[in-house]
């Protein structure tokens, strides 16, 4: 049974915290099994890290990515185990796009765990620590941010919008000095707030192209199937069914902006009225409400929330 009005979305980096998924791990065998399966790929006790930390280790990009993918896939399996209906469409934010493709049977879980671990390594080493930065900009039109970033790209390096998260929330990234200068200029232009993000690399910028080249090699031999559920891709807010084109957009995504607002609007225009966030936290649920207040939104990290969402969506 499918529910064409239902979309599942999968979070990316920033949703991780020590102790997440504790109740789900205790409640669902499928969640425990998924963490055991991931541990065999990464060769460490992933659940012990999630449960006990330390947070600094959990925040390492090469660790965060396989951990969050595992959390999302585990909740998807619990959703199915408990009788949840199949969604009509899926999307994931940055790393979350890999989670969506696993849940849509386009990538195997074990292949994806190994792949996103390497993706994290590639992204972390593409730019020397301290050279890049990211910041969130609140309360300013996308067009103003685009223009100011384009104007400031020059002697102090490059800066560009990288996550169009919702109207009034855009993340910028690039060389550290250029990001700092952009934050000053954007505040003068009317931004209500600019906030540096605690990351050590400028994700989704042209500076990530070396990581993209490495990812292209790593993904070349991985089997990709036609998704069983349509997945909306970050780079162009479109559905892609050709496995080779999926391979290509996954590489392009690493150095291209995340068009999350457009992804959400694409799903809404296709008939989505209910949204379930399949992963830790409520970041995407909050963004969804900013994009369209009429959406019915649920986050299912907690078992009671998961079972409530399943009972409400029939």
195-238 pLDDT, tens digit per residue, is 999 777 899 999 999 999 999 999 999 999 999 999 999 999 99
pLDDT, tens digit (0-9, with 9 covering 90-100), for 290-300: 999 999 999 99
Asked if the model's pLDDT at residue 156 lies above 90, the reply is no
Q: What is 23-86 written as a DSSP string?
A: HHHHH-HHHHHHHHHHHHHHTS-HHHHHHH--HHHHTSHHHHHHHHHHHHHHHHHHHHHTTPPE
Q: Which pLDDT does position 43 carry in this prediction?
A: 97
Q: What is the pLDDT of residue 288?
A: 97
Residue 303: give the domain boundaries: 2-126+207-312
Q: Which of 200, 225, 242 is the last residue of a domain?
A: 200
Look up 204 and say whether it is catalytic. yes
Is residue 156 located within the same domain as residue 190?
A: yes
Q: Residues 174-191: what's their mean pLDDT?
A: 96
**Is-contact 275 296, C-beta < 8 A?**
yes
Q: Look over the chain and give the mean of its residue pLDDT values, rounded to a whole number.
A: 96
Residue 94 has pLDDT above 80, yes or no: yes
Neighbouring C-beta atoms of residue 314, cutoff 10 Å:
9
- The owner of tokens 């036609």 is 226
Q: What is the pTM of this model?
A: 0.97
146 within 8 A of 158, measured Cβ to Cβ = no
For residue 1, pLDDT over 70 is answered with no
Q: What is the mean pLDDT of residues 137-147?
A: 98
Number of domains in the chain: 2
Annotate 106-142 with DSSP letters as a single string: SS-HHHHHHHHHHHHHHHHHSS-TTTEEEEEEES--H
pLDDT above 80 (res 184) = yes
Mean pLDDT of 181-191: 97
**Same domain for 162 and 76?**
no
Ranges of H-type helices in 153-293: 176-188, 209-219, 243-253, 260-269, 283-291
pLDDT of residue 195: 96
Last residue of a domain, one of 141, 168, 200: 200
Question: In this prediction, what percent of the chain has a pLDDT beyond 70?
Answer: 99
Radius of gyration from C-alpha coordinates of the chain = 19
For helices 176-188 and 142-152, what crossing angle results, to 10°? 130
Question: Is the domain of 121 the same as that of 231?
Answer: yes
Name the one residue in this structure whose structure tokens are 């995407």: 284
Q: Which residues contact 287 (CB under 8 A, 6 or more apart)?
A: 165, 166, 169, 260, 264
Work out the average pLDDT over 113-125.
Answer: 96
Q: Are residues 64 and 97 in the same domain?
A: yes
What is the per-residue pLDDT for 14? 86
Residue 2: in which H helix or E strand, if any?
Answer: strand 2-10
Cβ density class 37-68: b for 16+ within 10 Å, e for less: bbbebbeeebbebbeeeeeeebbebbbbbbbb
Give the integer Cα–Cα distance in Å for 183 and 308.
42
Residue 149's pLDDT band (boundaries 50, 70, 90)? very high
Q: What is the pLDDT of residues 7-24, one digit of tens each?
A: 999 999 988 999 999 999
Q: How far apart are CA 165 and CA 136, in angstroms?
A: 10
Q: Is the separation of the CB atoms in 115 and 101 below 8 Å?
A: no
**162 & 15 share domain:** no
**In this structure, are 183 and 241 located in the same domain?**
no
Gap between the Cα atoms of 286 and 296, Å rounded:
11
Question: Does 94 qualify as catalytic in the annotation?
Answer: yes
Catalytic residue among 200, 204, 233, 256: 204
231 and 110 within one domain: yes
Binned at pLDDT 50, 70 and 90, residue 129 comes out as confident
Q: Judge whether residue 276 has pLDDT over 80.
A: yes
- Please, what is the end-to-end C-alpha distance for the chain in angstroms? 9
For residues 170-198, average pLDDT: 96
The pair of three-digit structure tokens given for residue 17, joined into one six-digit string: 């915290």
Of 94, 166, 200, 299, catalytic: 94
Residue 62: CATH number of its domain: 3.40.366.10
Q: Check whether residue 226 and residue 83 sit in a common domain.
A: yes
- Is residue 122 pLDDT above 70, yes or no? yes
* Residue 186, domain CATH: 3.30.70.250
Residue 155's pLDDT is what? 78
């Amino acid at each position: 049974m499918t529910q064409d009005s239902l979309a599942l979305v999968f979070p990316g980096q920033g949703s991780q915290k020590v102790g997440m998924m504790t109740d789900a791990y205790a409640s669902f065998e499928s969640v425990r099994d998924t963490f055991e399966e991931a541990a065999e790929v990464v060769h460490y006790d992933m659940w012990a890290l999630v449960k006990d930390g330390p947070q600094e280790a959990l925040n390492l990009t090469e660790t965060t990515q396989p951990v969050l993918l595992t959390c999302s896939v585990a909740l998807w399996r619990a959703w199915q185990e408990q009788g949840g209906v199949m969604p009509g469409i899926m999307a994931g934010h940055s790393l979350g796009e890999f989670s969506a493709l696993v849940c849509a049977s386009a990538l195997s879980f074990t292949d994806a765990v190994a792949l996103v671990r390497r993706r994290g390594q590639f992204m972390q080493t593409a730019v020397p620590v301290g050279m890049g930065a990211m910041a969130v900009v609140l309360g300013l039109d996308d067009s103003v941010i685009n223009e100011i970033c384009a104007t400031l790209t020059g002697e102090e390096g490059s800066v560009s919008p990288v996550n169009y998260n919702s109207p009034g929330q855009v993340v910028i990234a690039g060389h550290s000095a250029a990001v700092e200068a952009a934050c000053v200029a954007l505040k003068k232009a009317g931004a209500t707030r600019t906030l540096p993000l605690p990351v050590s690399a400028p994700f989704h910028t042209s500076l990530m192209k070396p990581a993209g080249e490495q990812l292209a090699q790593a993904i070349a031999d991985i089997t990709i199937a036609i998704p069983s559920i349509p997945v909306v891709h970050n780079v162009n807010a479109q559905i892609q069914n050709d496995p080779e084109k999926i391979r290509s957009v996954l590489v392009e995504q690493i150095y291209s902006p995340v068009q999350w607002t457009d992804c959400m609007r694409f799903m809404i225009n296709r008939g989505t009225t209910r949204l379930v966030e399949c992963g830790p936290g409520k970041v995407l649920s909050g963004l969804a409400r900013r994009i369209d207040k009429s959406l019915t939104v649920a986050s299912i990290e907690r078992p009671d929330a998961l079972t409530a969402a399943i009972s409400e969506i029939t």
